[in-house]
């Protein structure tokens, strides 16, 4: 093995031999050569700050699910420390209402991304754009046909006058 091969590693997603760099990392104890490979392998922790292909809706939904889990941990700690009444008083003072119960919920806590309405609208919009473009092409072709027919008729009229 040469000295250059010793500094290169096989990406567990794309299989290419690459050096470790700032955008490489580990996901589930497997080394990936880039954030694209990490994302393609299923790590969604790196979705924020670049256009990874996930929609804003799915990113926000994922963040909210993670936040709900963190809040449940904090609720447990508050209960263990006996601070429930104090929390209730502060919540009413700050927000005007008592705290929201963060029990599990089948919709709020789904463990996979559901169909994204933003992505569905984007796909629908692409279909409409393609339809409109086809209509424009037909109108342009019809206009060219009319122009050609008029030019042919003018040529016939001119040749008939001579």
Instruction: Report the chain's mean pLDDT, rounded to a whole number.
Output: 83
* CA 108 to chain centroid: 19
| Two tokens, residue 8 | 């290169």
pLDDT tens for 73-93 read: 998 999 999 998 898 888 888
Q: Is the pLDDT of residue 111 over 60?
A: no
| Two tokens, residue 135 | 């209509």
Cβ atoms 8, 19 nearer than 8 A = yes
Q: 102: closest CA among 59, 64, 68? A: 68
What would the DSSP string read from start to end of 108-123?
Answer: TT-SSPPPPHHHHHHH
Instruction: Say which residues have a Cβ less than 8 Å from residue 19's Cβ, sequence separation at least 6.
Output: 7, 8, 9
Q: What is the pLDDT of residue 73?
A: 92
């Amino acid at each position: 093995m040469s000295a250059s091969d010793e500094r290169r590693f096989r990406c567990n997603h794309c299989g290419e031999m690459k050096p470790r760099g700032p955008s490489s990392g580990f996901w589930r104890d497997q080394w990936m050569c880039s954030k694209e490979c990490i994302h393609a392998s299923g790590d969604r922790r790196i979705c924020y700050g670049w256009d990874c292909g996930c929609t804003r809706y799915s990113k926000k939904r994922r963040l909210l699910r993670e936040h709900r889990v963190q809040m449940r941990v904090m609720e447990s700690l508050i209960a263990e420390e006996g601070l429930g009444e104090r929390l209730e008083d502060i919540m009413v003072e700050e927000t005007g209402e008592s705290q929201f119960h963060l029990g599990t919920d089948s919709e709020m806590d789904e463990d996979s991304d559901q169909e994204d309405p933003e992505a569905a609208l984007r796909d629908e919009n692409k279909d409409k754009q393609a339809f409109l473009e086809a209509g424009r092409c037909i109108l342009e072709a019809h206009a060219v046909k009319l122009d050609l027919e008029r030019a042919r008729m003018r040529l016939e009229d001119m040749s008939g006058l001579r």
